[in-house]
Amino acid sequence: MRLIILLGLLAVLAGCSSFGPPRITYSRSDIEERAFIDRKSGEFGKLFQGLDGAILTGPDVGFMTASQRIELAWTIQLSDGPMAIPLSLRIAISGMPKLNAAKQGIDLADTRVEELRMPSIPFLNMSDANMRQGSSLGSIPLLHFDPSELRHDDIVYEPTEISLGMCGLRVKLAPK
């Protein structure tokens, strides 16, 4: 009998938690797919300036929960280098996710270059490059909310708070 009562209480509690404003959760793969749709513009474009004809893979997304930062890394396969050595360049940036001023998307604030290296030539000093490890990129737009994400059951919601956890980037919503 106690088991039935306990299961009933758990069902009621689970039902109560499903009511209320919805949340948006972006997993690593969601962010990989939606991040930086326009890679040619703004501050973000400076990272990949002059790399026409290169093969770009990424971003690989990592959550740095202790510092509340998101890390994004790309690998750029360059044309064959001297003596037909394949060259690749790895660029990783990180930033703190924040709602943009219009609450239409998420920006990365305090964005900086975390890693800039050529794995095939480990002794190469990249410190003379315009973008080097530790360089600040300021604030960069990460992604924009899809209008359908902000509408549920004919109610329009607005994002109010962002939190970063192991499972993803969560955006709390409140009725507008």
For the chain, which residues make up each domain, given as ranges?
Answer: 36-145
List the end-to-end C-alpha distance of the chain, in Å, as a whole number. 44
* Measured torsion, CA atoms of residues 120, 121, 127, 133, in degrees rounded to the nearest 10: 30
User: For 17, which DSSP code?
Assistant: H
- Give the span between the Cα atoms of 78 and 52, in whole angstroms: 9
Q: Is 139 exposed, middle or buried (0-12, 13-18, 19+ CB in 10 A)?
A: middle
Q: Kindly report, residue by residue over 88-133, the tens digit of the pLDDT.
A: 888 899 999 999 999 999 999 999 999 887 776 666 555 545 555 6
Question: How many CB atoms lie under 10 A from the CB of residue 26?
Answer: 25
User: What is the token pair recorded at 58?
Assistant: 């990424």
The reply to whether the predicted model has a pTM over 0.85 is no
Q: Kindly report, residue by residue over 126-176, the tens digit of the pLDDT.
A: 554 555 566 788 899 999 999 999 998 889 999 999 999 988 999 999 998
What are the φ/ψ torsions at residue 39 (nearest 5 degrees)? -85, -5
User: Which of 168, 82, 73 is closest to 121 using CA atoms?
Assistant: 82
Determine contact, residues 60/32, Cβ cutoff 8 Å. Answer: yes
Mean pLDDT throughout 22-28? Answer: 92
